[in-house]
Structure 1
């Protein structure tokens, strides 16, 4: 097998990324559509990192930085290629991006019921903070 290559996604790949998330990511978000991902890439073309092997996307992470905080979303790895260091490579690239941009701390959105995801985040050095709750309000 070829080595993993980490790179940024392009707007042309939005349909491929959405199909990848449908089979590889846990849960769905209000912004998991072509308009949402296209807006992300238009605003910050380097935010969506993909892991590629043999020309196919095998992992993703959104590494968003708003000038204040570093946020990680949509860490997903192809179910057939897990436990091969893909998530670790994606997070290393995201952390490098954040440091370059001046970020000081990264946070991750992890579903409470996603035990596999929680294990991956713990293995990467993240921990849940019990004093915080996510408050949301859909705008559309």
Structure 2
């Protein structure tokens, strides 16, 4: 088995992360651009967690903590590397970060149509809360 390296992203990684998301992540977000990811890493340098094998980016997760809640976004694993424990390793790193920061519960943004992601999140111990609905308002064009 190839060794998996988990680490926080650095500014030099951001173009590779954006390209990776186009190939490995489901859906898009208004924040999926260089400026958005730069702001994330500048504000919270440990929030964007990367998984690498032999120097190749194979997975990501954003583990954001606002001091009150723990939010998970952009859990993505390269399609050729899925079902090898990469997603689990990323989630473990995110959860360890949350516990270290005093977080008590993680929540994840998961696309309704992404059935394979539902299985992965359930296997990791997460469950949907049907009584909640995400409400959004774009603040810029």
Same fold, judged at TM 0.5 (above)? yes
What residue in structure 2 maps to residue 135 of structure 1?
135
1:19 aligned residue: 19
CA distance in 1, matches of 2:21, 2:116: 16
2:110 matches 1:100: no
Residue pairs, 1:1-140, within 5 angstroms: 1-140=1-140
Structure 2: gaps (5+ residues): none
TM-score by length of 2: 0.98
| CA apart distance, 1:12 | 1.1
Shift of 1:2: 2.5
Once residues 68 and 55 of structure 1 are traced to their aligned partners in structure 2, the CA distance between those partners, rounded to angstroms, is: 34
Q: Any unmatched runs of 5+ in structure 1? A: none
Cα RMSD after superposing both structures: 0.6
Compute the TM-score of the two structures, normalised by the length of structure 1.
0.99
Write the distance in 2 (CA, Å) between the matches of 1:116 and 1:5: 24
* CA deviation string 1:46-99 (max 9, x = no partner): 000000001011000000000000000000000000000000000000000000
